[in-house]
Structure 1
Amino acid sequence: MPSSMPSATPSIQVFLCDIPSSMGVVGLADSKIVAETGKVVLQNTISSDIFVNITFRRTYSDPVVLAFVNSRNDWNSVAPRVKDVTPNGCIVFMHNPSNSSHGTELVSYFVAEKGRYELHGGAIFEAGSHDTSTAHEGGQNYIGDQLWFTEPFQNMPAVLHTLNTYNNADFMASLATTITTNGFQIAQEYAETTPSSIVQETIAWIAFETGSGTSTGQKYIVGIDDNGIDNGVDNVEYIIEFTSVGYETSPDLVAAVNLENGNNGAWARGSGTFSNTQQGVFAEEDQEDDPERSHTNELCDNERHHESELISWVAFEVAWVAFESCSDLIQAI
């Protein structure tokens, strides 16, 4: 069983954002930056004592962190997770259901100050977190805790979510469902695994108004979609297409399952397709109870064999210098 506080230091810390905060935005105070994005490379799972300490590019008051595995260098199931979130940083790691090792993967992350914001360019998001011991087991009907937005969205938002604690020291993911313009339900997700314990965890969430555009020079796209076909690992990947946005390199992109149409349990993960024009997504499943990973059509917030899913996703273009990753998101005045 992995320790909740690994004693080893990360064997590798690859930060793809080594640029001073607010570069290129003349005279901008850091207090106007309400979110940032980036990518890291993880060479293994926390079961092998591999994790990355991320230092945020600004100091937040009460941040939440999303994470998503964009790549698929190792086809075994794995999920991203976050812990030890402070105003200045956090730890990002991967965990697989069998508590074993895993190949190197690319992980995007999204940090945001809690609250509701309108960004330059008009994009709106609301960020929060929820402490809960409610958990969904594969094969059971989904029942989550009801959360309400501080004010309604105009249309159904894309709701992204990631566990921000590691109290159980075991595998666990998260799932959001019953999403409306007013709120949604959320819970832990352990699918068909057998957790050593189910304890209270903190789930970070961010709800984004859908659409695309530019915010302080950074191109973005947010969407929700249901392609009506099975998007499990043993099925067909769901392709998030953003050619029209015009990214020069692959964006920082996070995704998450929003709606569980089947009851096996799943979370979103990259399919192996990831470029400046596309991100492929599978509804990832554990392989503990059975090896198949088919999935019926499900609501997937841009995050293996699951029923056709509604995919909800958010991608921000490269922020500052190289137009690759690392966006600073600026609150409109």
Structure 2
Amino acid sequence: GTSMATPHVAGVAALVWSYFPNCSNKHIREALIRTAEDRGDSGCDNKYGYGIVNAKAAHAYLHNNGCTFDVGPAVGGCQQWVSGTLPPTSSPTPFEECPANKKHFKLALTTDQYPAETTWKVSRRTEQIISGSGYAAFTEYTVNECIANDACDFMIQDSYGDGICCGYGNGSYEVWVDGVSRRTGGKFQSSETVDLCPPTTAPTPPPTSPPTDAPTSAPTSAPTPTPDQPTASPTPGQPTASPTLSPTASPTLSPTASPTLSPTASPTAAPTLIVGETGRTLLSTTIDVQNAQNVATINFRNEYTNPVVVAFINTRNGGQSVSARIRALTSSSCELFMQEPDNQGHAAEWVSYIVVESGRYILEGDIVVEAGIASTTIIHRQGQGFNGHPVQFQGAFSSTPAVLHSLVTHNNNDFMASMITNVGTSGFNVAMEAAGSGKNSASEGVGWIAFSPKTGSTSSTSFVIGIGKDGTNDGVTDSPHVIDLIGNFNGTPDVVVSVYNPRGADGSWARGAGISTMNTQTVYAEEDQVGDTERTHTDEFFAWAAFTAETDLVATA
């Protein structure tokens, strides 16, 4: 147990520390302790220590609290968390009120991993009033200044051109003027500007009487009573100069003559049909490690009838062979996990996924997508030729689509990957991929999603969908395939990649090669290390789809 837990916790610590390099090792240790999931006896005990390490919770803790909390002395065992609470923070010094000819400017800035790229300034016409630069990484700053009332321009800049969120940390900024928030942001490219001056108020036009539903045939003035018409007696206490007509003398419209508005509802925009979504989650280890947060329950943001899910491990924090897999797929959720061919533990990794309702649709951006699940009993093994069960598209694609695939069942309760071969415009073949692992399964379901290759954006998302190879070997001991995303995203997108029409007889699946940012996703053709420890691999075709983080896929047809 200890021999497995120790490298696992060390790997999680290294992962968390990579996001907060300015923290000390004591801060990382304390964050892991304070966010561990308690098991066994309440609090620290000799069997579970402080509990099960949770990389995602530790990351969130340091993001929210920084590295300024008291970590206490470096002692071991259950004594290492001495205080158990965060030290009290001093009350902030109140900002003095600005004079009448100035306004209160406030900036809250949280830096990312590369703060030297970040600068900001406030300008009055062409004159720079105040500015800021030279910050530390992953640190929160607050600026309070009295500035001229006609200082209207705030600009924040990033010299690298990737903003301050979210490729290298969750940087952000917010600006206020006289206590009113004017902008919150972080996802930009080279710069972003904020208007610090309120808009000039235009004179308000007099109200226009709303149209009425009265028929045009109604009289515009009261009829003049004839001399022989009696007038009503004046009401005591009311002016006698304003006689009222007898009720019978007032012409009234027949009840049937009063037209009513049609019960038809007011016109509304066409309903939005969401047929899919994207996301990303952090898995702490493999499913074969017991008593760990090794399976993520993905609760979909939308409800589906027969959803299909595909997944891909974007990062490479652990060097062992590993693959992502789905099980327990329902209309509203699924379970997502990692598994190694040798059934060992693994370092925490980020995993992207795409969900699409079974069927064929045209998405915003004129993307054609078709999705389904195919059951297969065919297994490809190392050294064999490629075969599979045929799958036909509902309609032919105009060009060869990018087909992504994952196993969506776990019938064998063991390692297995998926394989797609013979992809054309009208269909493909599907099978399982065991490579050299020696694993077996009687039958598994393969989820597949086919996209028409395209790069573009809509009002709600950006996307890069493609297929290709680079002419060089793609194994772990070779150079990775590089997917270029530059200029399409303001933060790290959700990216799923699959091996496409495999060529290497050893068998492989797609796996992140170490870079997963807003600009680049690198990929290896991952082989197992069970039957054959060498990891070079021929040049493979890959299919990929990248969308802005947490995109809802909207169908137009």
In the alignment, which residue of structure 2 is the partner of 1:263?
A: 505
Code of the residue aligned with 1:261 in structure 2: it is: R
Shift of 1:45: 0.2
Shift of 1:11: 6.8
Distance change >3 Å, CA 83–CA 27, structure 1 → 2: farther
Tell me if 1:192 matches 2:433: no
In the alignment, which residue of structure 1 is the partner of 2:275?
A: 34
Distance change >3 Å, CA 14–CA 164, structure 1 → 2: farther
In the alignment, which residue of structure 1 is the partner of 2:544?
A: 313
Shift of 1:113: 0.3
Is the 2:55–2:348 Cα contact (8 Å) retained in structure 1? no
Tell me if 1:148 matches 2:392: yes
Distance change >3 Å, CA 122–CA 242, structure 1 → 2: same
For residues 152 and 43 of structure 1, the distance between their equivalents in structure 2, rounded to whole angstroms, comes to 40
Instruction: Describe the superposition over 1:227-273 as per-residue Cα deviations: whole angstroms up to 9, x where unpaired.
Output: 1110110100000001032x111100000011221210000000001
Is the 2:411–2:441 Cα contact (8 Å) retained in structure 1? no
In the alignment, which residue of structure 2 is the partner of 1:220?
A: 463
Distance change >3 Å, CA 332–CA 292, structure 1 → 2: same
For residues 537 and 510 of structure 2, the distance between their equivalents in structure 1, rounded to whole angstroms, comes to 12
Code of the residue aligned with 2:338 in structure 1: it is: M
Code of the residue aligned with 1:160 in structure 2: it is: L
Instruction: Describe the superposition over 1:22-59 as per-residue Cα deviations: whole angstroms up to 9, x where unpaired.
Output: xxxx9785x61101000000000000141001100011
For residues 353 and 554 of structure 2, the distance between their equivalents in structure 1, rounded to whole angstroms, comes to 17
Distance change >3 Å, CA 214–CA 288, structure 1 → 2: same
Code of the residue aligned with 1:209 in structure 2: it is: S
Shift of 1:331: 0.7
In the alignment, which residue of structure 1 is the partner of 2:532?
A: 290
Distance change >3 Å, CA 287–CA 60, structure 1 → 2: same
Shift of 1:275: 0.6
In the alignment, which residue of structure 2 is the partner of 1:96?
A: 340
Identity over aligned pairs, percent: 38
Q: Any gaps of 5 or more consecutive residues in structure 2?
A: 1-38, 40-51, 61-267
Query: How many equivalent residue pairs?
Result: 295
In the alignment, which residue of structure 2 is the partner of 1:279?
A: 521
For residues 83 and 181 of structure 1, the distance between their equivalents in structure 2, rounded to whole angstroms, comes to 29
Output the TM-score relative to the length of structure 2.
0.51
Instruction: Describe the superposition over 1:155-177 as per-residue Cα deviations: whole angstroms up to 9, x where unpaired.
Output: 00000000000000010001111
Is the 2:438–2:531 Cα contact (8 Å) retained in structure 1? no
Is the 2:497–2:543 Cα contact (8 Å) retained in structure 1? yes
In the alignment, which residue of structure 1 is the partner of 2:453?
A: 210
For residues 181 and 266 of structure 1, the distance between their equivalents in structure 2, rounded to whole angstroms, comes to 23
For residues 194 and 274 of structure 1, the distance between their equivalents in structure 2, rounded to whole angstroms, comes to 31
Equivalence map 1:315-330=2 (5 Å): 315-317=546-548, 325-330=549-554
Code of the residue aligned with 1:233 in structure 2: it is: V
In the alignment, which residue of structure 2 is the partner of 1:3?
A: none
Q: Which has the higher helix share?
A: 2
Distance change >3 Å, CA 13–CA 60, structure 1 → 2: farther
Is the 2:296–2:336 Cα contact (8 Å) retained in structure 1? yes
For residues 171 and 28 of structure 1, the distance between their equivalents in structure 2, rounded to whole angstroms, comes to 45
Distance change >3 Å, CA 117–CA 14, structure 1 → 2: farther
In the alignment, which residue of structure 1 is the partner of 2:474?
A: 231
Is the 1:119–1:215 Cα contact (8 Å) retained in structure 2? no
Distance change >3 Å, CA 58–CA 143, structure 1 → 2: same
Tell me if 1:72 matches 2:316: yes
In the alignment, which residue of structure 2 is the partner of 1:175?
A: 419
Q: Any gaps of 5 or more consecutive residues in structure 1?
A: 1-7, 17-25, 297-307, 318-324
Instruction: Describe the superposition over 1:96-120 as per-residue Cα deviations: whole angstroms up to 9, x where unpaired.
Output: 0000100000000111100001011
Is the 2:296–2:335 Cα contact (8 Å) retained in structure 1? yes
1:128 equivalent among 366, 372, 376 = 372
Q: Which runs of 4+ in 1 moved over 3 A?
A: 10-16, 26-29
Larger radius of gyration: 2
Tell me if 1:51 matches 2:295: yes
For residues 41 and 28 of structure 1, the distance between their equivalents in structure 2, rounded to whole angstroms, comes to 36
Shift of 1:327: 0.5
Distance change >3 Å, CA 156–CA 132, structure 1 → 2: same
Equivalence map 1:15-30=2 (5 Å): none
Output the TM-score relative to the length of structure 1.
0.85
Q: Which has the higher strand share?
A: 1
In the alignment, which residue of structure 2 is the partner of 1:116?
A: 360
Distance change >3 Å, CA 87–CA 134, structure 1 → 2: same
In the alignment, which residue of structure 1 is the partner of 2:5?
A: none
Code of the residue aligned with 1:213 in structure 2: it is: G
Shift of 1:75: 0.6
Q: Higher relative contact order by CA 8 Å / sep ≥ 6: 1 or 2?
A: 1
Residue 207 of structure 1 aligns to a residue whose secondary structure is: strand
Code of the residue aligned with 1:52 in structure 2: it is: A
Is the 1:45–1:96 Cα contact (8 Å) retained in structure 2? yes
Distance change >3 Å, CA 13–CA 185, structure 1 → 2: farther
For residues 533 and 360 of structure 2, the distance between their equivalents in structure 1, rounded to whole angstroms, comes to 41
For residues 444 and 479 of structure 2, the distance between their equivalents in structure 1, rounded to whole angstroms, comes to 32
For residues 55 and 274 of structure 2, the distance between their equivalents in structure 1, rounded to whole angstroms, comes to 25
Shift of 1:291: 1.4
Residue 188 of structure 1 aligns to a residue whose secondary structure is: strand
Is the 1:66–1:161 Cα contact (8 Å) retained in structure 2? yes
1:163 equivalent among 399, 407, 414 = 407
